[in-house]
Amino acid sequence: MNTPSEILGRDGLLAKHVAGFAPRPEQQAMADAVAQTLDNNSILIAEAGTGTGKTFAYLVPALLSGQKVIISTGTKNLQDQLYHRDLPVVRKALEVPVSVALLKGRNNYLCLHRLDVAEEGRYSSREMAKNLQMVRSWSLQTSSGDIAELSALSETDPIWPRVTSGSDNCLGSECGYYEKCYLMEARRQAQAADVVVVNHHLLLADMALREGGFGELLPAANAFIIDEAHQLPDVASGFFGMSMSSQQLMELARDAEAEYITDINEGRDFSTLTDALQTAVQDMRLAFELKSGRGVWRDEAANKELLSSIDKVKAALEKLQSTLKPLAERSKGLDNCLRRSSELEQAFKLLTGDSADDQIHWYEIHKRSFSIYLTPLSIADSFQARLAEINAAWIFTSATLAVGTHFDLFQQQLGLTEAETAQWDSPFDYYHQSLFYVPRDLPLPNDRDYTRAVIDCARPVIENCGGRTFLLFTSHRALREAAELLEDKIAFPLLVQGDEPRDILLEKFRKLGNAVLLGTSSFWEGVDVRGDALSCVIIDKLPFASPGDPVLQGRIEAMRKQGKNPFMDFQLPNAAIALKQGVGRLIRDVNDHGVLMICDPRLLDKPYGKVFLDSLPKMARSREPNDIARFFDYVDKRTAAAGGV
């Protein structure tokens, strides 16, 4: 049988069966490295620059390996793309009898029991009741129960938590719909398949369950391929820690009331108890001194109003439990609510009490809710323990894992210090396809008029590019200020993050062809706009994490105690990787071209700017605004010459 690199070569199976396929030496080299890792049952960390074609580079050896392989992606959108688009193409080209399955977390599948219960509940709006009817109609047609099928409803619609289950509210084998359960069917298919596509949240949830001795969610596998692996440390920190949200308490109250109405409904004023819990939770949300964003828990230690509201939540939970105990024998749903109330009470007491020295204790305030977290300072030992238990081949890959040529940060975060590393540059010709422009005379980012200065510099660049621009910001505050400064000041359609869902904004951007899109972190990665619609990426500042972030503060304090330099060892490399992600939006294809503009003067004025520059592709650079128009003239002539050959 041919090697993976030969299959991906000029005369290979992919070239014969996939229209427009072009062989890439970087892709072929990566495919052989993945194959060797699978054969040796070892660990590989592989950075593959944009355009390498890393998906095919790992799919070909994975499908040929004859092993049970789990592939994990960063988001559900990438998971769907891999399963529905990329896997079928490679499997068809290779003509191998490999079975595949898609498995998501349980809250991505309709729960028929909770759908029944939801129809007995109270609703705050006609729209929610209407959407519930839509879900019921869809339930009569779907075979998978995957809520992504019902595209008429956003996946963030408030109806979904009411008709999907979490691990805390699932009735398991006692459910009357157990044999028809969409989640259980998806898991059965995953058990039987050769290749299973999951996402990082499900992968880490499985690892966290194993750590607690509670079995597993995923089938046993010989190999794990982690795509978009740069996201894994942050996701893992959440799963190896502890957290709860006010929404869990609110959902408990709603579910208990609905289950009572469904199964008992003897006229007792049960809603008084559930309303009391919801009121106590809402009062606690209002008691925080911080009204939005993230905070350190110890900063609220002297907040008497918050401490009083915590006691009221505990009392409401205890009263609900005492009422549920005699009723639980008569209702499986209420028995489940009793168990949940006990578990939530224990978690609530832990999360509102004192914390250990090796944990970061913090909270986050949302518009109508809050969450409390205990995040471990390091997950390396926990992650390594899970890898040792699972005993499989592991491939971690992304376009952004290294800082320059070093993988130290990623390796230290996950304890992968003994892993093999490999790096393949992008095959794109960045020097001819792009221009890297750094404007002169901008103030430092801490200047109160910095965003105004950025927009003043950006406007002529946007004009030169005919719109077709992503303006990427490191904060929502700067984004909103920029939106106000640009409104009615440019002759191009203005699309602003937050006005509409991300996917809708992206679709509009592609169709309009001359739009200007303003975005923050969610637009820095996982966004693919090919062709002329995107010809300019403007980044307002170097993406250092906010110094006020409580998790970052905790890590900085711990590193200082260890005698380390948190800026050089953690903050700077993380920012360099984040910048690589943002820059990666510009060139997505061999025929793309465009201007990268980074406004932050620290890039060239500070010694650490070299770390950022060394991590970026080799582009033609300029500080002269007139070079932008010259660049597009050059591109037009080069394109015309190529077309005339």
The first and second tokens of residue 492, run together, are 């191009």
**Given this structure, which CATH class describes domain 4-99+193-233+380-424?**
alpha beta
pLDDT for 220: 86
pLDDT at 576: 96
What pLDDT, in 10s, does the model give residues 567-594?
A: 999 999 999 999 999 999 999 999 999 9
**Apex 11 CA angle, 10 and 13, nearest 5:** 105
| Lowest-pLDDT choice from 162-171, 230-239, 338-347, 551-560 | 162-171
Cα–Cα distances in angstroms (integers) from residue 192 to residues 96, 335, 393, in the given order = 16, 33, 20
610 in Cβ contact with 447 (< 8 Å): no
Distance CA 420, CA 407 (A): 10
Band of residue 1 on the pLDDT scale cut at 50, 70, 90: low
Mean pLDDT of all residues in 466-490: 95
Residue 213: which pLDDT band, with cuts at 50, 70 and 90? very low
CA distance 636 to 645: 15
Kindly list the domain boundaries of the chain, sorted by start residue: 4-99+193-233+380-424, 106-182, 242-376, 430-644
Question: Is the pLDDT confidence value at 519 over 50?
Answer: yes
Task: Check pLDDT > 70 for residue 393.
Answer: yes
Residues 294-318, mean pLDDT to the nearest whole number? 95
**Band (166; pLDDT cuts 50, 70, 90):** confident
pLDDT of residue 124: 65
Q: Half-sphere exposure of 581 toward its Cβ, with a 13 Å CA cutoff?
A: 26
481 Cβ contact list (under 8 Å, min separation 6)? 451, 452
What span, in angstroms and rounded, lies between the C-alpha atoms of 522 and 583? Answer: 14
Instruction: Say which CATH class 242-376 falls into.
Output: mainly alpha
Q: Which of 75-89, 153-167, 473-487 has the highest mean pLDDT?
A: 473-487
Question: What local confidence, expressed as pLDDT, does residue 154 receive?
Answer: 83
Please give the DSSP secondary-structure letter assigned to residue 207: H
For the residues 59-65, what does the mean pLDDT come to? 97
Nearest residue to 239 via CA among 215, 208, 268:
208
User: DSSP H helical segments within 87-199, as ranges?
Assistant: 87-94, 112-118, 126-139, 160-163, 182-192
> How much is the pTM?
0.91
pLDDT of residue 644: 47
Is 242-376 the same fold as 4-99+193-233+380-424?
no
* pLDDT band at 214; cut points 50, 70, 90: very low
Report which of 67, 387, 104, 74 is spatially closest to residue 221, judged by C-alpha positions.
67
Domain 430-644 has CATH 3.40.50.300: yes
- In the chain, the percentage of residues whose pLDDT exceeds 90 is 77
Q: What is the pLDDT of residue 639?
A: 75
For 247, residues 6+ apart whose C-beta sits below 8 A from its C-beta are 161, 369
